Structures are given as C-alpha cells and as structure tokens.
Structure 1
C-alpha cells in the first residue's frame, strides 16, 4: 500500500482553507510521503497564492517535482500521482491533478468530474513527441514505454523525459445560491411583518452570492 492522503482545515489570517489530497505512489512510498509533507506547503508559500491561485498551483507542482527528482537517491526511483483540492472559506474549490486519481463533486446530486484522467492513450502525441512510446499489450492497460499506466506523474526519473508533471486545474463556486421552497417558507414564517420577511429572503439570496436580479414578495394570509 503506497497511498498517502491529506484531509485537514487550516486557518491563514482571516481565511479558512480545507486541504484534501490523495497521493497514489508506485515503486515505493518515498515520493507520495514527500508529497504529503511538502506539496500543500509549497502551494501556500507561493507569493501569488491570493492573487493567481491557478498559477501558484502550477508553479508549486513544478517546483515540487524538481525537488523530488533532486532527492531521488533518498526517495527512491518510483513516483506518484496526485489529486489535490483546496476549499477557500467554504465557497471556492480548486482541484488540481497529475495522473489518474479522480476528484468528483456532487452538485444537487449530480456527479461532476473535477479532474482529468491522464492516461497514456489520451496523451500519446505528447509522449511520442518526447521520444517515448505507448504499449498496448493484449490483456494489459496502455503503458508509457511498457511500464507506467499514467502519462503524468511526480518523480519517475527513468521515464521523466517522456512524462509530464504539470497539473490540470479546475475551479468552481461552492454555494447554495438557490433558496429551496421549504427554506423560503421557513425563513418567511418566522417573521410576522411580510415586508421584513421579504427583505430577509432578499438578504439571504445576496448572502448566497446570487448573481441574478433579486425581487421578492411575501403575502401573509389572515386566518
């Protein structure tokens, strides 16, 4: 078992960050253990973290891979995939991945894939351009140079000239900007004055980052 993970919340200044990751190692646990310890700290230490998180993640992934390669005598000759998720203040989610570990978001019960599977067949052009090849042996999955079943990974010095380690990155807003019918009733019935109830419902829609025009009428029926 060469998998490592991260699942924690940290407080940075006035921001709450949720940090979640899976690191799937191969040929030893040296690289995934290194990622568990260093990748998020490298991302958070990027100067542009609060300005350009996309660029910060990309730079940190690259810098981490270079550090792994420079320490491969200690970490071993293996490598690791990675899928990382950063949740900022419970509202903005950033997901990055290298390899085939997958992140899936449930939005209203609908599954949304937030990562990209980096499989040798789908990136055959890049591998061949770098001087490698993709094997397709019967009964086996496609592999880079007949060895690795992913086209991007951290580490793997013996295949690095044919592999990529730059991540695919996706981000999305995590919110409940639609007030359900029951929530609207629950809010309105707590306030006797219908005008105040309408204002409360409008304020709730704004709080949930509604980007649409917001109008609300509350009618209270007499018994």
Structure 2
C-alpha cells in the first residue's frame, strides 16, 4: 500500500483534506438546495480498500467551488490527489509515475467534477469511473468509459495489443481492463492519462449528479441508478442506498 506520509504530503500540496471516513455530507453556502454526500464500501477483493473520495465546497475569492471526485485504485494503489483540470491530470499522472517506487506499481481511474457557483459543472474522467446527471428524471452520462476495445486503434498505435485472454474482458496487454488511467508504470507506454472533459449547465431542471466507480455501473444502468436515488432526500443516504444495492447485486 502507499506510504501514509507520502499520501499526506500529496494532499497538502493540492490543498485538500482526506475523505478519512467511509461517508460524509455537506452543503453549499450559496444555495440551500444543493447538498452532497458520499459513501464508500469495500468490495469482495482480499486486499485493502483502494477507493478514495473527495467531496467539499471551497471558497475561492468571490467564487464557490464544489469539488468532487472518485478515484478507483487497482493493484493496491490509492490515489489521494484531486487535480481536476485538463493539464492537472497530466501533472498528477507524472507525479504518480515519479513516485512509483513508493506508491506501488498499480494505478487508478478517476472521475472528477467542479461545480462553479452552483451553475456550471465541469466533469473530467479517465477510465471507467462515471458521472451521470439527472434532469427531469432522465439520466444523461457526462463521462466516457475508456474501454480497450473502443480505443484499440490508439492502443495498437502505441505498440500494444488488446486481448480477452485470460478471461473474457478486453484488456490492454492482457492486463488492464481500461485504456486510460493514472499510474500503471509498467503499461504507461500503452496507456493514456488524457481525460475526457465536458461542461454542463446546472439549472432548475437538474435533480442530481452521481459520481461512482465501475462497481456501481456493472450492476445497474444510468437510469436505474437515478431511479434508485432520486426520491432519497439526503445525499449521503442516497449514496449509501446505491452502494448497498450494488453489494446486494454482486452477492
């Protein structure tokens, strides 16, 4: 696992605290109608928890920023950083690779979101962690699932290959089931850390936004996830309901 001192220093560098507990909630000071909540639950794997969440509002001058992220580590690799801009994704990836001897050989997918003054949302992602927004009850996916089969041409252009062996899931070099991620030093020549970025207006039609790792999306559709949570008033409770439903489906 990653060295705790290194994780602490990385968190301090970008100015954000850790989601030290498994759940949490908060609300905007600009709008009483906008709240957030998160809930982390460990899956069936035998290694330690690898996911990491950020959820907070932060004042920057006259602007309020809602900062939200889900990092889904793999190969016992925890990613604590939160750097959501296009350029910062590259910086984050570079720093993780430079510290690979301490942080481990694995990597992480990520989906990040910045809510600016409760009116504009900027979403970025690498890998298969996903962002979904609901407007008037209709789910809309904001992120892109970076799948090896979809990006096969780019992967092969970097001198790699996509294989379903072992198993039946397409993997880069037969190892990683996503085509974009942070870290993964041994595969880096064949992987991209370039994020997909999208902007979305937030208005009275917007009901909720879900950020989640693939653990949720492998067992339910975007619309099912929205339908499950849209009538749960407390954001943390909605996150918990989603996580517990996911665990129930995986049993």
The TM-score with structure 2 as length reference comes to 0.61
Deviations, residues 155-204 of structure 1 (Å, cap 9, x unaligned): 000000000001000101101279xxxxxxxxxxxxxxxxxxxxxxxxxx
Asked whether the equivalents of residues 166 and 174 of structure 2 are also in contact (C-alpha less than 8 Å), the reply is: no
Q: Which runs of 5+ in 1 are unaligned?
A: 44-56, 179-223
Aligned equivalents of 1:157, 1:131: Cα separation in 2? 15
1:133 matches 2:161: yes
1:158 corresponds in structure 2 to 186
Is 1:94–2:122 an aligned residue pair?
Answer: yes
User: Deviation of residue 64 (structure 1)?
Assistant: 1.1
Task: Verify: 1:19 aligned to 2:67, yes or no.
Answer: yes
2:10 aligned with 1:10: no
Partner of 2:248: none
SS at the partner of 2:130? Answer: coil
Q: Deviations over 1:66-90 (max 9, x none)?
A: 1111111111111000000000000
SS at match of 2:155: helix
Q: 2:175 is matched with which residue?
A: 147
> Which structure has the larger Rg over C-alpha atoms?
1
Query: 1:106 maps to which residue?
Result: 134
Tell me the secondary structure at the aligned position of residue 176 of structure 2: coil
* 1:1-223 map, 5 Å: 1-30=49-78, 32-33=79-80, 35=81, 39-40=82-83, 43=84, 57-137=85-165, 139-176=167-204
Q: Aligned equivalents of 2:186 and 2:166: distance in 1?
A: 24
Please say if residues 158 and 190 of structure 2, whose CA atoms lie closer than 8 Å, have aligned partners that are also in contact: yes
Higher strand share: 2
Which secondary structure does the structure 2 equivalent of 1:103 belong to? Answer: strand
More helix by share: 1
Between 1 and 2, higher relative CO (CA 8 Å, sep ≥ 6) is seen in 2
Q: Which runs of 5+ in 2 are unaligned?
A: 1-48, 207-251
Aligned residues: 158
The whole-number CA distance in structure 1 between the counterparts of 2:197 and 2:204 is 23
CA contact (8 A) 2:125 2:197 kept: yes
